[in-house]
Amino acid sequence: MAESNAYQNALTQFDKAVAHLNLKRGIAETLRHPKRELTVNFPVKMDNGEVKLYTGYRVHHNTALGPTKGGIRYHQDVSLDEVRALAMWMTWKCSLMGLPYGGAKGGVIVDPKTLSLNELEALTRRYATEISILMNPQGDVPAPDVGTNGQIMAWIMDTYSMHNGFTLPAVVTGKPVEIGGSAGRLEATGRGVMVTARDAMQRLNMPVEGATAAVQGFGNVGSVAARTAHDMGMKVIAVTDVSGGVHNPNGLDIPALVSHLAATRSVAGFPGADSITNDELLTLKVDVLIPAALENQITSANAHKVQCKVLAEGANGPTTPEADNILNDRGIFIIPDILCNGGGVVVSYFEWVQDLQAFFWDEDEINKQLERHVTKAFAQVMLAAEKHKVDNRTAAQVLAIQRVADVTLLRGIYP
């Protein structure tokens, strides 16, 4: 079904935004297509001596604003169309956040939980080598995404540096701080999500203290968003992850839930809470709903049952265009993904700048600059929504696409 194709959804959003812009047809056509796409099939030697073939991708959507930026996803459902969509969203996200970057994304079709640590390292080093023809500190800088983490970024940085003959930390962001990572990068996406949620609540005259939230996904983005919401005095009443979910209408003890997750590797079975499914979580009556997992979670099948006031898109592409129409008609305030989760790539940019200068900032400085970027983008999206009389997602894309189009014309069409 077309509704579940992330790339079709990204194109539908793009066409909707472009209808409000006065772009030349050739420019719109250019921005609608990825600039280059690489598919790699590569062997990995498994622990039992068997050789297994894996497929991966790296897509550069657009390079007008600068080097391409975007994460690498390890997931069994990765496809070329998904990577294309995620790369396109990175172009708009970097543009909206005011970063000198184009958009890219990478992915490998693999469930990383089925690999041993050795196998994960071998797969990562081989994939990094295969995409080295596109990846470098000046041209294309990956980062973590679903299924990847700081350790995987460390292996990518090491592999690239081994081929190069000396260490180049700026080839990838989201690294551990010991090897050139940035203070605050790990928390940046979840923090940015809550900066936008707070801005939205202020705009809607909703008190933050005591406001209720539900979070789908308890990985890097969801867990930090939940912790930040808890620290802001909000009541996080439900959380789900891949193995289950927990619900307590009086609010979950998030620091205790984080410890439970560390001990059991799942949020399920947390004492003092009822179990809840993903579908139930998405339709809970809450002030703020935070989908922080995968694409296509809110669709035409469940959008009419969603009961939040603010939808804060921690994930990329959690809402389909069909669902967007339903939610907008129902007056739900959507903080679109490219704005809501843009804090991650903002601090990736700070990491890259620090690596290039070999001069590191402290976490207070990082968090201050992160908040400045995110709050500014939020205000710009609100102004654009009023000016063009469009929904928040379309407003965000209008701003982002216009900037890339302007720069494309300023640079001129080569030759």
CA distances from 164 to 123, 132, 168 (A): 19, 11, 8
Contact range with ligand GLU by CB under 6 A, out of 176-184, 342-350, 364-372, 387-395: 342-350
Cis peptide before 415 (omega within 30 of 0): yes
Give the interface segment with ligand GLU, choosing from 29-37, 132-140, 323-331, 344-352 (CB under 6 A): 344-352
When the beta carbons of 87 and 310 are compared against ligand GLU, the nearer one is 87
Determine the interface stretch with ligand GLU among 25-33, 69-77, 206-214, 249-257 (rule: CB under 6 A).
69-77
Q: Which of 348, 354, 392, 397 binds ligand GLU (CB under 6 A)?
A: 348
Q: Which of 5, 9, 91, 316 binds ligand GLU (CB under 6 A)?
A: 316
**93: annotated active-site residue:** no
Output b/e per residue, 269-288; b: 16+ Cβ within 10 A: ebeebeebebeebbbbebbb
C-beta of residue 14 within 8 angstroms of C-beta of residue 31: yes
DSSP state of 133: G
Which is closer to ligand GLU, CB of 84 or CB of 260?
84
Task: Give the residue, chosen from 63, 173, 182, 216, that forms a contact with ligand GLU under the rule CB under 6 A.
Answer: 173
The footprint of ligand GLU on residues 370-389 (CB under 6 A) is none
The amino acid that residue 20 corresponds to is H
Q: Is 69 in the site for ligand GLU (CB under 6 A)?
A: yes
Q: Is 250 exposed, middle or buried (0-12, 13-18, 19+ CB in 10 A)?
A: exposed
Per CB under 6 A, 83 contacts ligand GLU? no
Question: CB 189 → ligand GLU: shortest distance, Å?
Answer: 7
The minimum distance between CB 344 and ligand GLU, in angstroms, equals 4
Q: Check residue 143 for interaction with ligand GLU (CB under 6 A).
A: yes
Which listed range, 227-235, 242-250, 266-274, 341-349, lies at the site for ligand GLU (CB under 6 A)? Answer: 341-349
Q: What is the 3-state secondary structure (H, E, C) of 66-128?
A: CCEECCEEEECCCCHHHHHHHHHHHHHHHHHCCCCCEEEEEEEECCHHHCCHHHHHHHHHHHH
CA distance 402 to 381: 13
Token pair recorded at residue 374: 């995110």
Smallest distance, Å, CB 134 to ligand GLU? 15
Cβ nearer to ligand GLU, comparing 65 with 345: 345
Look at residues 320, 313, 305 and name the one whose alpha carbon lies nearest to residue 288.
313
Can you tell me whether residue 242 is helix, strand or coil? coil
Q: What is the C-alpha to C-alpha distance for residues 80 and 75, in angstroms, rounded to an integer?
A: 12
Summarize the chain as % helix, strand, coil (round to 5).
50, 15, 35
Q: Exactly one of 69, 105, 235, 309 is catalytic; which is it?
A: 105
Figure out which of the listed residues 82, 130, 140, 145 binds ligand GLU, where binding follows CB under 6 A: 145
188/399 with CB nearer ligand GLU: 188
Asked if 157 contacts 169 with a C-beta cutoff of 8 angstroms, the reply is yes
User: Could you tell me the smallest distance in angstroms from the CB atom of residue 105 to ligand GLU?
Assistant: 8
Which range binds ligand GLU by CB under 6 A, 68-76, 124-132, 153-161, 283-291?
68-76
Active site residues: 105
Per CB under 6 A, residues contacting ligand GLU are 69-71, 143, 145, 173, 316, 341, 344-345, 348
